Structure 1
């Protein structure tokens, strides 16, 4: 059948190197002067690490919720001088097993005085002097300490000063535990070294078994580690100026180590292939950077663009997590594009001199296992397409039950003081005492001046609050000194992360408070940590579709510009969304439903942390595009040379299957190693990202992509003329440069065969 189009194309032979552009020159320069490049990287690394140690900042969970009810209520409390509203509050929980706390009155008073004298402390409310701060049996109570700044951001040494202030209590056989942000400060330093060691050790094993060469294994590892250390140091310096979440360095490590290994491995693999045909090692390195280096650059920019899409959430806390991960991704890509070529140039043709097995290159013929697999998929494309979609659908089904929330201290290890403080409060005061809600009511001018009306409203409000299902207790609303506000504390029946507590917050905000206050010209707000977490969750749930739309649209346009094919770009976006949904389903089943959660050190079901789906989506979508670009760039390169779609898919799959499989195994091991983290949120990200990489490298790349491309046939490469003229030129493999250097045409639209 004859297909008409604007251009008749002559197949392009691989008769020479691609166009000698910037990347070609960069690769050649790095390979010719390897010691200079290595020296510069070592100097940069030492300077960055030293600067980070001298001026680097700290990480803490602190987010701005301007315009939300919880923030409005907090601002009103501060503006009208409500008692105990200044600064940031933290609890110090005390427990006496030998008798009531009143037997330790003098020691408790002295400890309170020492706490008051600490730097940055505004006030201390002692348990025996504060109504409701001691349990009915008198054995458990708590200090409420208010700090000028969030204590979670203080230096670790501050915990030692608090320990000294309460030392006499512990000597008097009183248990003392720190809750809230003070408990966060007292957490042990993140033990990520074991996870990093497992990831690196697995990478060594996979690379040696997959490629046989010690150098081929060592160069990606060395490049990735140097790039990671430099990226983390840069992140530390950024943290001195900007607020980053506590999970930022761990997330940056996961991303930097994973993509750093992938990018360098992709370059090393292509270099070893080109060594057979290039004039020498320097030329092979230059061609490697000019071809595969373009794919690495486009892949890194795609990941970074996906992470930048997190700013579409409108929450800086989330956007800065994307910046943290993007920092190590970009530094890792820079290391891969400069340090790896320098190491390749230094090794020359001796890259396979040390080996543990016969070194393996990309296949040259159609008899290898990957060509045979491609032929198998070609014979039954519909079967493999439906099997792949069915598998992703089964794994993704639990995602329909996704429940966002906040993973509180109750899910932390019992070795953490914040977990022990949480349990003491829950056991003594009830589970809701770990997440009280503060009701703030603004009064109109009449209510500010008429005491009788204000008192009547306060009684009506208390009656409504105590009668609300899910409320364990509510304090009598009290007016501020200026009479502008009424303030009450509501204790829920359930803990902060329970579904019932979420329902209570919405019930109070949507029904109870408007029902009592609207006719009186007053307005009510819920504030406090639990209310703020709920506002945060609602914001992210509302804006997740926006982030998804922005990231998918950006990736679609980028792939469209790179591969000049609307169908290829659309297929990539759809398949990536399916694999992400499947990874969401696994996270819901393990953490929310508890299927196998004990294997990961979690002894209770928890909601999915509100920002995890958004972070997972951006990261997974970006990483999926990495493999998509690596695979499709080789498919398109062969297509431009042969105009045979079936051969292009087979050659592209065979040429990249080994490197993608090894890269996926490495990245999966890096991610899953972080299941050893004590943070439940990090465990969620680790499992979700690890599962997504496995699915992407197997079900998507080995089943769905080749099956779909076989079914679409030459329609894969169709693009309207007007769109081809409109799009910028981005060439991941230098194919256009090679085509132009031989005088062949690069078409727009369908081709004549």
Structure 2
């Protein structure tokens, strides 16, 4: 590899225009591919197979009308007064304007919704009196019927008495032979009695009919009372839900889409915001929830540009010449353009999260500058000692460039290993990051030599050019560090990193909500307004489903809803529950559940777990939990579970790579333990700032919350690669000195002397670039930039320059011990290109004059 890179570097230096044009064409092709094939980025971090995803898919099948996404528009009067009639109509018109966008299917008018809620509540409040009045009316009717029945019974008794008298008279007449004379009179009397009996029967029928009506009314009244009781219970569960605040100053409008909000293209979201905002009536402001308002347009902001400028300042201080200071930045920016544009060209066929290209920019910019710096610095040192220009460029590419390829490969492998977590969006992020780092490596070993050849002797400043080959460039004698000082520095460094790592023990994971956005942003204002006017939990609304063991009839639906709502309300972390829909057969129900606290709170996380633990209920009802808050919790837990496995893989990979490179068992263990120590110190720093709020005002953390869920696992991959970079550039110098006959302790100092300056500059540059993203306009990028900057700071300046040299000094010769059998089977990896350097030796001081000639 070293010889191949030597030839590539020398050829590029001798024909710089060819290499430069090739990369410019590559940039043009990448840009064209992005314009032609680039798709839409998503803000979703869903993971297939999670319970939230399964519940959502079931919901789409059973209740399709709930499948589309929705976003919230928060309207508020400017003078904190109640909405006027004109303003209410203006809000309706503003929401209506959103329907001009094709992906919008409708909206929910907050004022109509609130009016319906209040009317239902008024009906429920009036219903008990109506029931009592009905019962009183039935009681009065029953009394009248009872009185009529008593009169009827008395008349029937009188009729029966008359009939008895008539029967006795007839019998007496028959006995005294007067029957024939009185027969007609008897018949008339009997007819009168029969007529009276018929009238009594008719009256009895009327009374029976009225009694049946009263009985039916009583049954219906009792049924209404039972329904009323159910309605009252449900009203009690939904009492905390409002669409207009109690003081009448704020209203929550809902804009409905034909797909999940994360799947709606940003152009449609922007158009909705523009249309609604333009139609808002005078005296009313509108702000939008983060799911529609958050945008990642523009991968570079002011902070990132400042970071690059700081990198240029560092390069100027180190190089003392403008061209070699500018060159790493120019080449890395070109590499960023090629890598990111090429990756984005595939966003039309691969679902890519919105932070993926920004991660590519961050990594490619940082490592691109560093990798170019390593080659430029090596060339400058050789050229100062009198080596011929093109020969020096080729040798620098074959030695430091070889180390760059190897170091870049470790970063690429670590990032590609993110695919083994089984988390698609994380795998895509790792793949894109690895691709951008790969482009940075290619740029470093092809474009950097070309630009070095183009600028020629201007790679050195005027003073340095005047002293090429002078004795001042010779190396000073090397003395080992003092053992006592090494032990003291080791102890202080380890204790310091362990203290910094303490906050990591309480680290909570989550995805960002509106509170992480700038305080003047629409999504932050919307979140805080909802929090203040409607309660924290409204921002973290859960969607709970209930699959009944058997479908219920329409008349039994309310009872089923009340039973489930009562079970949900039994949890002390639930503020309100409201039915959201039912399937056609009433076998699958959906509910809105409002937690007591926001989506990122510990109580809401516990609530999701508790609700799932309820399933199945005693009657066999299966409970499911979905919604944005639930999905974020599931993603965070999945990532938390994947971290130990990924960390184990990376640590194992680290040990294997370093054993091959340094042909030692102890050096890889020291390097790997140092990496783990700096990693957890970085976790601790991120937790202290972004979760605890320490120094929050300095880093723009106004609302502390959980750490970005995919940050730890992403940190692990990236910092591993970067840690191996610095380990390689420092420890290979130590091994090279040891192999050339220097004793173990002096070789430690020799390696530090050769690599300390360039690693220091490279680390400062990387910290500057990553640190620039701390003040990014995108909330998810800030903790990422901060964590990476802290990780590089701890690893480069504490672990690689203090802990590792101190331990290697203390163990002495044992640092390079390797079993003979393992030494025989390991491949000989010449990372520093020592064999190539022996073939192309750098001139010594005494050869300076000849080299100049």
Task: Give the TM-score, by structure 2 length.
Answer: 0.78
- Listed one character per residue, the Cα deviations across residues 430-475 of structure 1 (whole Å, up to 9, x for unaligned) are 110011011111122xx21567887655333222222211111112
Residue number in structure 2 paired with 1:95: 76
Alignment of 1:724-743 (within 5 A): 724-735=823-834
Query: Would the aligned equivalents of 2:553 and 2:586 in 1 still touch at CA under 8 Å?
Result: no
**Distance in structure 2 (CA, Å) of the matches to 1:639 and 1:693:** 27
Q: Secondary structure at the match of 1:606?
A: coil
Residue number in structure 2 paired with 1:199: 307
Query: Would the aligned equivalents of 1:377 and 1:706 in 2 still touch at CA under 8 Å?
Result: no
**Distance in structure 2 (CA, Å) of the matches to 1:45 and 1:309:** 27
Give the deviation of 1:538 after TM superposition: 0.8
Structure showing greater radius of gyration is 2
Give the deviation of 1:267 after TM superposition: 0.6
Task: Tell me: CA distance 1:167–1:700, structure 2 relative to 1, closer, same or farther (3 Å).
Answer: closer
- Listed one character per residue, the Cα deviations across residues 710-731 of structure 1 (whole Å, up to 9, x for unaligned) are 2222222222344334444432
Query: Would the aligned equivalents of 1:152 and 1:184 in 2 still touch at CA under 8 Å?
Result: no
Task: Tell me: CA distance 1:196–1:652, structure 2 relative to 1, closer, same or farther (3 Å).
Answer: same
Give the deviation of 1:363 after TM superposition: 6.6
**Distance in structure 2 (CA, Å) of the matches to 1:357 and 1:289:** 21
Give the deviation of 1:218 after TM superposition: 2.5
Query: Would the aligned equivalents of 1:213 and 1:357 in 2 still touch at CA under 8 Å?
Result: no
**Distance in structure 2 (CA, Å) of the matches to 1:383 and 1:631:** 21
Give the deviation of 1:329 after TM superposition: 1.5
Out of 66, 77, 94, the position equivalent to 1:85 is 66
Query: Would the aligned equivalents of 1:672 and 1:690 in 2 still touch at CA under 8 Å?
Result: yes
Residue number in structure 1 paired with 2:414: 306
Residue number in structure 2 paired with 1:679: 778
Residue number in structure 1 paired with 2:544: 439
**Distance in structure 2 (CA, Å) of the matches to 1:649 and 1:182:** 56
Structure 1: state its 5+ residue gaps: 1-18, 743-753
- Listed one character per residue, the Cα deviations across residues 239-261 of structure 1 (whole Å, up to 9, x for unaligned) are 23322222223322221111111
Residue number in structure 1 paired with 2:512: 407
Q: Secondary structure at the match of 1:642?
A: coil
Q: Secondary structure at the match of 2:589?
A: strand
Residue number in structure 2 paired with 1:493: 596
CA RMSD of aligned residues (A): 2.8
**Distance in structure 1 (CA, Å) of the matches to 2:720 and 2:284:** 51
Q: Which has the higher helix share?
A: 2
- Listed one character per residue, the Cα deviations across residues 28-84 of structure 1 (whole Å, up to 9, x for unaligned) are 2112211211121222223323433444334322233322221121111101125x4
- Listed one character per residue, the Cα deviations across residues 67-121 of structure 1 (whole Å, up to 9, x for unaligned) are 2221121111101125x41222212222244423665454344444432342112
Query: Would the aligned equivalents of 1:631 and 1:653 in 2 still touch at CA under 8 Å?
Result: yes
**Distance in structure 1 (CA, Å) of the matches to 2:668 and 2:392:** 30
Give the deviation of 1:409 after TM superposition: 0.5
Out of 804, 810, 814, the position equivalent to 1:705 is 804
Give the deviation of 1:338 after TM superposition: 0.6
**Distance in structure 2 (CA, Å) of the matches to 1:356 and 1:280:** 15
Task: Tell me: CA distance 1:681–1:180, structure 2 relative to 1, closer, same or farther (3 Å).
Answer: closer
In the alignment, structure 1 residue 28 sits paired with structure 2 residue 10? yes
Residue number in structure 1 paired with 2:701: 602
Of the structure 1 ranges 151-160 and 193-202, higher mean CA displacement relative to structure 2 is found in 151-160
In the alignment, structure 1 residue 65 sits paired with structure 2 residue 61? no
Q: Secondary structure at the match of 1:712?
A: helix
Out of 28, 38, 46, the position equivalent to 2:28 is 46
**Distance in structure 2 (CA, Å) of the matches to 1:392 and 1:359:** 43
Out of 214, 236, 243, the position equivalent to 1:133 is 243
In the alignment, structure 1 residue 107 sits paired with structure 2 residue 215? no
Residue number in structure 2 paired with 1:384: 489
Task: Tell me: CA distance 1:163–1:695, structure 2 relative to 1, closer, same or farther (3 Å).
Answer: closer
Query: Would the aligned equivalents of 1:86 and 1:146 in 2 still touch at CA under 8 Å?
Result: no
Out of 355, 363, 367, the position equivalent to 1:259 is 367
Residue number in structure 2 paired with 1:393: 498
Residue number in structure 2 paired with 1:613: 712
Task: Tell me: CA distance 1:339–1:354, structure 2 relative to 1, closer, same or farther (3 Å).
Answer: farther
Q: Secondary structure at the match of 1:448?
A: coil
In the alignment, structure 1 residue 146 sits paired with structure 2 residue 256? yes
In the alignment, structure 1 residue 462 sits paired with structure 2 residue 565? yes
Task: Tell me: CA distance 1:20–1:701, structure 2 relative to 1, closer, same or farther (3 Å).
Answer: closer
Residue number in structure 2 paired with 1:238: 346
Residue number in structure 1 paired with 2:665: 566
Structure 2: state its 5+ residue gaps: 118-241, 842-853
- Listed one character per residue, the Cα deviations across residues 540-559 of structure 1 (whole Å, up to 9, x for unaligned) are 11111011112222222222
Query: Would the aligned equivalents of 1:306 and 1:622 in 2 still touch at CA under 8 Å?
Result: yes
Residue number in structure 2 paired with 1:124: 107
- Listed one character per residue, the Cα deviations across residues 186-240 of structure 1 (whole Å, up to 9, x for unaligned) are x7x4473322321222122212222323333222222222212222222321323
Give the deviation of 1:737 after TM superposition: 5.7
Task: Tell me: CA distance 1:191–1:732, structure 2 relative to 1, closer, same or farther (3 Å).
Answer: closer
Query: Would the aligned equivalents of 2:405 and 2:441 in 1 still touch at CA under 8 Å?
Result: yes
In the alignment, structure 1 residue 534 sits paired with structure 2 residue 644? no
Q: Secondary structure at the match of 1:166?
A: helix
Task: Tell me: CA distance 1:593–1:112, structure 2 relative to 1, closer, same or farther (3 Å).
Answer: closer
Query: Would the aligned equivalents of 2:366 and 2:769 in 1 still touch at CA under 8 Å?
Result: yes
Alignment of 1:295-694 (within 5 A): 295-354=403-462, 364-366=474-476, 375-378=480-483, 380-444=485-549, 447-449=550-552, 457-476=560-579, 479-510=582-613, 513-514=614-615, 517-642=616-741, 644-694=743-793
Q: Secondary structure at the match of 1:731?
A: coil
Residue number in structure 2 paired with 1:15: none
**Distance in structure 2 (CA, Å) of the matches to 1:65 and 1:153:** 15
Q: Secondary structure at the match of 1:519?
A: coil
Q: Secondary structure at the match of 2:280?
A: helix
Q: Secondary structure at the match of 2:572?
A: coil
Task: Tell me: CA distance 1:152–1:486, structure 2 relative to 1, closer, same or farther (3 Å).
Answer: closer
